[in-house]
Amino acid sequence: MLLQNKVAVIYGGGGSIGSAAARVFAREGARLFLAGRTMSRLEEAAAAARAEGAEVSTAVVDASDPAAVERHADQVAEAAGRIDITLNAVGFDHVQGLSIAETSVDDYLHPIDGYLRTNFLTAKAAARHMVAQRAGVILTISTPGARLTGRGLIGNAAQSAGLEGFSRALAGELGPDGIRVVCVRPHAISDALATSYANAMFGRIADASGIGMDEWIQGLTGATALGRLPMLAEVGEYLAFAASDRASSMTGAIANLTAGALVD
Ligand SMILES: NC(=O)c1ccc[n+]([C@@H]2O[C@H](COP(=O)([O-])OP(=O)(O)OC[C@H]3O[C@@H](n4cnc5c(N)ncnc54)[C@H](OP(=O)(O)O)[C@@H]3O)[C@@H](O)[C@H]2O)c1
């Protein structure tokens, strides 16, 4: 198994990508600590991961609260003896689809502050333990907005490009300590629409464009090389590989999981 005896923390562990990754990590032998805002969603994800045979703990942790994140990381390290993998799969609704003239500075800064703050805090908390171990993998998630251009993307673009830059810089800083940092960049995930914050956000963008959600999604799909959007299981499988020792020479990488909407 890819992650036999690895200790993995997933923030946003009750969310769409967080719970999909938890299922794959569980199947691959990891001991899991799922952290997030809503216990009922965490417990649902934990039950699915336990069904794959994993030992799973859950905790309500606000990933934007430095003290709460540090305390949780210490509890994980004490309970499991180490932290091998940390994945930040936190997600929350934010403004996309508006022109700069229609966007307030607070709406522009909301995703930048939220995603860059939580990724900084969860990476910092894990890195403290990983540096002491001289091993570990930090996983982050950006969006195609990092490389796209056009109206309605400014907050998402700045957030995603910022997170990719953060991940690259951190890979250089922590590489000498044996720690890898990998960022994945999936396109809109087709089977996450039912559960993700992105559903409401995409709906508003479609409305503002004067088209229905189905037509808007068809537009995204038509712009991919594969003629389809990525699936949650594909993102989970890639994250498990990136977290595993089979990817031991991979760091500072931004993995393109856009089904060819963007090509490198
Ligand atoms: N879905 C997509 O199509 C897609 C595509 C590309 C990239 N991404 C990226 O993937 C990441 C996760 O997205 P997702 O679709 O999996 O979102 P999701 O299904 O809405 O799940 C996000 C999870 O994060 C939790 N959360 C939000 N704020 C938190 C906080 N301060 N502390 C702890 N947990 C918090 C949420 O808690 P609650 O359960 O309480 O809401 C939820 O469980 C985001 O970075 C997003 O940009 C998503």
Q: Is the CB of 12 under 6 A from ligand 1?
A: yes
176 CA to centre of ligand 1 in angstroms: 31
Nearest CA, atom 4, ligand 1: 188
C-alpha to C-alpha distance for 202 and 161, rounded to whole angstroms: 20
- What sign has the CA pseudo-torsion 123, 89, 229, 52? positive
C-alpha to C-alpha distance for 27 and 261, rounded to whole angstroms: 30
Residue with tokens 């990983």: 130
Closest atom, ligand 1, to C-alpha of 196: 19
The side-by-side arrangement of strands in the sheet containing 253-257 is 56-60, 31-36, 7-11, 85-88, 136-141, 179-186, 253-257
What is the residue-averaged pLDDT of the chain? 97
158 CA to centre of ligand 1 in angstroms: 18
Across the range 205-234, mean pLDDT stands at 95
Is residue 224 within 8 A of residue 261, CB to CB? The reply is yes
Residue 149 pLDDT > 90 = yes
Beta bridge partners, 141, equal 184
168-198 per-position pLDDT tens digit? 999 999 999 999 999 999 999 999 999 999 9
Across the range 221-237, mean pLDDT stands at 98
154-163 per-position pLDDT tens digit? 999 999 999 9
Q: Is the CB of 192 under 6 A from ligand 1?
A: yes
Residue 240 pLDDT > 90 = yes
CATH class of the structural domain 7-192+229-257:
alpha beta
Those residues with Cβ within 8 angstroms of residue 43's Cβ, 6 or more apart along the chain or in another chain: 14, 58
191 CA to centre of ligand 1 in angstroms: 14
Q: Is the CB of 19 under 6 A from ligand 1?
A: no
Q: Helix (H, G, I), strand (E, B), or coil: what is residue 102?
A: coil
pLDDT for residue 208: 85
Q: Is the CB of 196 under 6 A from ligand 1?
A: yes
Residue 217 pLDDT > 90 = yes
Is residue 212 very low, low, confident or very high in pLDDT (cuts 50, 70, 90)? very high
Residue 114 pLDDT > 90 = yes
Q: Is the CB of 189 under 6 A from ligand 1?
A: yes
Q: Per the structure block, which two tokens stand in for 181?
A: 């940092």
Is residue 247 very low, low, confident or very high in pLDDT (cuts 50, 70, 90)? very high
Is residue 121 within 8 A of residue 63, CB to CB? The reply is yes
171 CA to centre of ligand 1 in angstroms: 23
∠ CA 220-254-187, nearest 5°, is: 15
What is the per-residue burial (b if ≥16 Cβ within 10 Å, else e) of 97-114? bbeeeebeeeebebbbeb
Phi, psi of 138 (to 5 degrees): -110, 125
Q: Is the CB of 58 under 6 A from ligand 1?
A: no
pLDDT for residue 218: 96
Residue with tokens 């594909």: 234
| Percent above pLDDT 90 for the chain | 98
Across the range 217-231, mean pLDDT stands at 97
Q: Is the CB of 90 under 6 A from ligand 1?
A: yes
Is residue 115 very low, low, confident or very high in pLDDT (cuts 50, 70, 90)? very high
Q: DSSP states of 146-176 as a string?
A: GT--STT-HHHHHHHHHHHHHHHHHHHHHGG
CA separation, residue 133 to residues 63, 83, 119, 240 (Å): 23, 9, 21, 20
C-alpha to C-alpha distance for 13 and 103, rounded to whole angstroms: 30
pLDDT for residue 209: 86
Nearest CA, atom 45, ligand 1: 91
Those residues with Cβ within 8 angstroms of residue 155's Cβ, 6 or more apart along the chain or in another chain: 94, 95, 96, 103, 107, 108, 109, 110, 111, 112
Top mutation candidate among 58, 61, 72, 92 for ligand 1, by most atoms within 8 Å of CB: 92
Is residue 125 very low, low, confident or very high in pLDDT (cuts 50, 70, 90)? very high
Nearest CA, atom 21, ligand 1: 15
